[in-house]
Amino acid sequence: MQILESNFIKNFIKMASDGNKMGWHECNGGNLSYRIKDEEILPIKKYFNKNSKWIEIGSCVPKLANEFFLVTGSGKYFSNIESDPKTNIGIIEIDDTGKNYRILWGLIDNGKPTSELPTHLMNHEIKKEAANGLHRIIYHAHTTNIIALTFVLPLKDEVFTRQLWEMITECAVIFPQGVGVVPWMIPGGHEIAEATSVLMKKYNIVIWAHHGTFVSGENFDKTFGLMHTVEKTAEILIKVMSIGGKKQTISNSNIRDLAAAFNLNIKEELLNVSS
């Protein structure tokens, strides 16, 4: 099997293309990574370049030792992934210490993995343990409406969660844990990676103030759907705010009823929060 014929590669490319069509990936904005399954690696191993050099990750992820990831490239445009995947995405391997990676396929012409690789891998490590190995995707997008809200709402997990839950009935079902918020930080470094990973222990959605959104999920459909839902919800909230604000809303009792109907674990402290 040629690498580009693999279903996980096709699904990765489709998700990147879908995100670009939503307008979330201007210029070289955003990044995507996928923790590849063992059974997906076996048929394509013979195509790997195992002579490539090991490079420091910039963080230590021992629980990802010897794992393989498909990642977008640093400085690469999502708009080019579909037409030229070998240049814009690549497969990397983590060494047995969790401190280094090497490029096995793709990212040709001296390409490198996303500059947010430390954040992606630290969060993969967190979600692998927290979700019993089910979560395999970390996705970062420059979601327009979420970014806009970070300029007007207090940068608090409970405020963003409560405001977003009120906008669409299904929101509490789709992200019952809520959302986390990281204050503005310089991207690409250890500090923002650490702050994001702390929140990923509790949430599947983490908002970077004035920058964008990170989400974690089990598969491509669920992960993209999570990003799409939280961004559409933010769009509705902005429209409501722009036409005079809420005159009625989904109440605390409504959310409790929803939680009971769908067997959700809604944190009570999030139901008595206002902006």
User: Which has the higher per-residue pLDDT, 116 or 272?
Assistant: 116
Number of domains in the chain: 1
Average pLDDT of the residues in 240-255: 94
* pLDDT of 135 strictly over 80: yes
Is residue 141 over pLDDT 70? yes
CATH code for the domain of 48? 3.40.225.10
Phi-psi label, residue 244: left if phi above 0, alpha if psi -120 to 50, beta otherwise: left
pLDDT at 266: 87
* pLDDT-derived band at 115, boundaries 50, 70, 90: very high
Q: Is 103 helix (H, G, I), strand (E, B) or coil?
A: strand
pLDDT for 144: 98
3-state secondary structure of 218: coil
Sheet containing strand 31-35, edge to edge, reads 55-56, 100-106, 89-94, 68-72, 31-35, 137-141, 212-217, 205-208, 180-182
Write the DSSP string, 169-194.
TTHHHH-TT--EEEPP--TTSHHHHH
**What confidence category does residue 157 fall into, taking pLDDT thresholds of 50, 70 and 90?**
very high
Say which residue the tokens 């409406």 belong to.
145
pLDDT at 275 over 60: no
**Does pLDDT of 1 surpass 70?**
no
Span 220-239, average pLDDT: 98
Residue 190: predicted pLDDT: 84
Whole-prediction pTM value?
Answer: 0.95
- Report if residue 97 sits inside a domain: yes
Q: Measured between alpha carbons, how far is 145 from 13 in angstroms, rounded to an integer? A: 24
Q: Is the pLDDT of residue 212 over 60?
A: yes
**Alpha-carbon dihedral of residues 7, 10, 15, 16, nearest 10 degrees?**
140
- Structural domain includes residue 98: yes
For residue 275, being part of any structural domain is answered with no
Q: What local confidence, expressed as pLDDT, does residue 213 receive?
A: 97
Which range of residues forms the domain containing residue 244?
3-270
Model confidence band, residue 269 (pLDDT cutoffs 50, 70, 90): confident
In a domain, 238, yes or no: yes
**Residue of 67, 93, 116, 166 marked active site:** 116
* Cα–Cα distance, 22 to 231 (Å, whole number): 10
The pLDDT assigned to 272 comes to 76
d(CA 162, CA 172): 9
What residues have CB less than 8 Å from 170, skipping those under 6 apart? 229
What value does the CA radius of gyration of the chain take, rounded to a whole number of Å?
Answer: 19
- What pLDDT does residue 188 have? 82
Mean pLDDT of 129-140: 96
Task: Name which residue leads in pLDDT, 99 or 50.
Answer: 99
pLDDT band at residue 164, thresholds of 50, 70 and 90?
very high
pLDDT band, very low/low/confident/very high, at 267 (cuts 50, 70, 90): confident
CA distances from 202 to 146, 173, 183 (A): 19, 16, 17
Q: What's the confidence (pLDDT) of residue 274? A: 62
Q: pLDDT band at 271, cuts 50/70/90? A: confident
Residue 118 pLDDT exceeds 90: yes
Give percent above pLDDT 90 in the chain. Answer: 91
> Does 235 qualify as catalytic in the annotation?
no
What is the average pLDDT score of the chain? 95
User: In this structure, is residue 144 part of a structural domain?
Assistant: yes
Backbone angles phi, psi at 71, to 5 degrees: -135, 155
